[in-house]
Amino acid sequence: MLHWPDRPTADTASAGFNLQVPDNGYAWWYIDAMSDDGREGLTIITFIGSVFSPYYRFARRNQPVDPMNHCAINVALYRENGNRWTMTERGRGHVERNATQLSIGPSRVFWDGTALNFEIDEVTAPIPSRIKGRVRVIPRAITQQAFTLNEDGNHRWWPIAPCSRVEVELEKPKLRWSGKGYFDMNVGDVPIEQGFTVWEWSRAALRNGTAILYEAERRDGSRLDLALQFDESGAMQMFDFPTLHPLPRTPWRVSRSARSQTEAAVVRTLEDSPFYARSMIATTLLGEQTTLMHESLSLERFRMPVVQAMLPFRMPRRG
């Protein structure tokens, strides 16, 4: 069983990067942010046991597999003049870690006691270019609420810092901005597709906090439904789900829907793949007009052999 790491607080310097992830399991640390002017965005996901890796899934077919042999840092930049994406998977020989830092290939992430820092040096795919520079994630507060996502307890989620400030300073491409951000963590003892069939997750920056909607269908047919509001001190309260609004499918025909007190609308599709979509969606939550950072995921599609054959073009492997 994977145990939660020591949780970082204002008085500690541990992000738990040395947690023991069991064979076939996973852990990921997720960041997203939008610039204050709304023109730039990014996501960074750091994986031990890359959950969507075709190499990791193939290796698990006949035997337990060490997740340390399937690590990656996924960086996505969302820009008006074109997005950039990088997700190069690396084996154990290219990974170093301790409680406060994790290095994967030429990039690393570390907790300095007050902020999560990324030093990024990655090559994009499928068209090569470089993403190089620094990102700093400064939590307003660290939450103490973690959630078990299924009855067996083998998938868990911790919204570490729903209200954060993110500073971006890249050399390649030349880029500098800051804005509101979000930081969480997911861990699992078994592959994620064993626990769930579909899910939709979204978060929205509010005037005085963050709203999170987490909705999923478990493999056994039961549901996970969370509607959470965090203020800037990290205090949490649940709220009633607004109306569910169907949205247009993506070009890859991935289903999307969003909760809103008024009509919801797709502002921009940031990522579109055969099994996953990331979108910006205009909604009204808790009486505020806001924009969701929204994910739609079909794990039934992810398991299809034809989809697995496509993934290496976006997810190369080194070592």
pLDDT digits (tens, 9 = 90+) for 110-147: 999 899 999 999 999 999 999 999 999 999 999 988 99
Set out the domains of the chain in order of their start, with CATH numbers: 13-190 (2.40.370.10), 192-310 (2.40.370)
Longest dimension (CA), the chain: 51
- Which residue, chain included where needed, has tokens 């570490």? 160
Residue 9 has pLDDT above 90, yes or no: no
**Cβ pair 40, 175 in contact under 8 A:** yes
| Residues counted in the chain | 319
Distance CA 24, CA 184 (A): 21
For 268, the token pair is 């921009």
pLDDT digits (tens, 9 = 90+) for 271-306: 999 999 999 999 999 999 999 999 999 999 999 999
The H-assigned helical ranges of 26-95 are: 54-59
Is 0.85 surpassed by the pTM of this model? Answer: yes
